[in-house]
Amino acid sequence: MDIISSLSDLRAARLSFEGTVGLVPTMGYLHEGHLSLVSRARAENEHVIVTIFVNPTQFGANEDLSKYPRDLDRDLSLLRPLGVDVVWTPSAEMMYPPGYQTWVEVEALTHPLEGSMRPGHFKGVTTIVAKLFNATQPHKAYFGQKDAQQVAVIRRMVVDLNFPLEVIVCPTQREADGLAMSSRNKYLNEAERKAATVLFRALRAAKELYEAGERDAEILRIKMKEVLEMEPLAKMQYVSCADYDSLEELDVLKGRALLSMAVFLGKTRLIDNFVLG
Ligand code: PAF
């Protein structure tokens, strides 16, 4: 496994690859969710590149970039057994050189849900992901369903900018009690960690209604709110029952729908979602 930080070394490594390349972009502090993406990339490609870069432009002014968890040695030791060819760890100065002023922005899809709560977030995500695609030239790029809106936005960008690659979406990995794996779970204290299962419980309660035949989106949103309100440590930011592709809020569920939510446990903001239909 080559650990590369410069762009020229990455390009040289990429040029030496014959056959398909799978890319797993990450911000590090890897967990089972990331590792499942890497394993899938390994199974489906001749070569695998993992990028580790805590992208400053996708953090808002009130989101603490400097406190984002980082542990490169631990990340590398988790990746070594998985047969990764290259780990690329570019610097912020390389990705955003002085005077930087070029951005990639997806429009309507970035306005609701996470986009409405985190202005500028997706502009940072699409810009860095486009730059990672340019640098690594993958045939397939792997993302987790946990960040459902991110996946929708990146898919749109890939179509709109004619990137010659396939976006592969992998299932959310969960702890035994249902909590979706996330690097941010590390911030939770013991009581918050216990309470954090409320996201999964709320989604599951709405899904049960759906499976019993309920198709009124507002009833599903109300059910999720009710479950969240029963947990004193949880502070709901939004719940949504939206069309899977357009992310517009639904009145009645017909095709595929996305149940999603953002919830604060103390200072930690968690998101989760289920796909219905
Ligand atoms: O999902 C993430 O970890 C990040 O948003 C990504 C895709 C690596 C871009 O920084």
Segment 94-136, tens digit of pLDDT: 999 999 999 999 999 999 999 999 999 999 999 999 999 999 9
Give catalytic status of residue 47 as yes or no. Answer: no
pLDDT the model gives residue 274 = 98
Q: Give the domains, in start order, of the chain with CATH numbers.
A: 2-170 (3.40.50.620), 183-272 (3.30.1300.10)
| Sign of the CA dihedral with 189 first, then 190, 195, and 200 last | positive
| Residue 33 CB less than 6 A away from ligand 1 | no
| Residue 170 CB less than 6 A away from ligand 1 | no
Q: Are 129 and 157 in contact (CB under 8 A)?
A: yes
What DSSP state is assigned to residue 147? S
pTM: 0.97
pLDDT tens for 49-103 read 999 999 999 999 989 899 999 999 999 999 999 999 999 999 999 999 999 999 9
| Residue 217 CB less than 6 A away from ligand 1 | no
What stretch of H or E contains 59? none
Q: Which of 55, 126, 153 to mutate to test the pocket of ligand 1 (most atoms within 8 A of CB)?
A: 55
pLDDT higher than 90, residue 18: yes
Q: How much distance in Å is there from the Cα of 202 to the middle of ligand 1?
A: 26
Q: How far is CA 187 from CA 67, 118, 144, 184, 203, in A?
A: 10, 19, 20, 6, 22
pLDDT tens for 163-207 read 999 999 999 999 999 999 999 999 999 999 999 999 999 999 999
β-partners of residue 120 are: none
pLDDT the model gives residue 76 = 98
pLDDT the model gives residue 64 = 84
